Amino acid sequence: MAAAKTTKGLFVTGTDTGVGKTLVSAALALFLRQRGLDVGVMKPVETGVDNPDALGSDGSLLQWAAASLDEPELISPYRLRAPLAPSLAAELENVRIDCGLLAETANTLASRHDYLIIEGAGGLMVPLAGGVLLADLAKTINFPLLTVCRPSLGTINHTLLTIFAARTMEIPLAGFLINNMPPSPGAAEESAPHTLASLASADLLGVLNHATGTPQEQATALAGQMEKLPSLPWLLAGLGL
């Protein structure tokens, strides 16, 4: 079951773990709320959760950013202890991840809000259950895919492969954001935006600078950066606004 077509939404993925897609997703929720939208958030599977009876750190940050009153079971249906790929973490806890349930949950959240941000786990090729990948879930939900990438060495390969995989699987693309640009970028970081913009078959929606502080402070700072991006029209178009 695909997410409701009447609600705008975004499926956020990363080129790798640790690229800051949770912070970017939270920042986007803040950014959209500041523009008057009622925003829903979803983290379909979160691993590395110390207490699975409550939201994990990612789900909690998204809940805070969206000021969400949705039930934790909708915000993050699967919360697993082991900090591993979802399929392996679920196997260790004798949990079966039901992708049909995840799609139905996305549909429920989409019906409640003006805009829904769904943050995946790791990258597109992360296994969820059996032979099902995160990319399969993204294709089923059918929201445009926003790829969060890093500016450092190796990002050209990772970003182009992610976008290529999405296009091959016919997942709609919103574009990509470069996150965590350092204050004093080296040659690799300085050249990454131009190189990616010229090679990727998707739009560069912005470059976000390194943010410091607590996760909430970082998300707030990134939301402020989004509002001031030279590429703001591109970002708004990528978000479908």
- State the catalytic residues: 43
Question: In the structure encoding, which two tokens stand for residue 103, read together?
Answer: 């799609």
In the numeric block, which tokens belong to residue 3? 């997410």
Contact 148, 176 (CB under 8 A): yes
Rounded distance between C-alpha atoms, residue 205 and residue 77, angstroms? 30
Alpha-carbon separation of residue 224 from 52, 83, 227 (angstroms) = 32, 31, 5
The one-letter amino acid at 113: H
Q: Are strands 45-46 and 127-129 parallel, antiparallel or unpaired?
A: unpaired
Closest among 179, 107, 168, 101 to 143, alpha carbons compared: 107
Kindly report the length of the chain.
241
Distance, first Cα to last Cα, the chain: 24
What is the b/e burial string over 224-237, where b = at least 16 CB atoms within 10 angstroms of the residue's CB?
ebbeebebeeebee
Residue 61 backbone dihedrals phi, psi, to 5 degrees: -65, -40
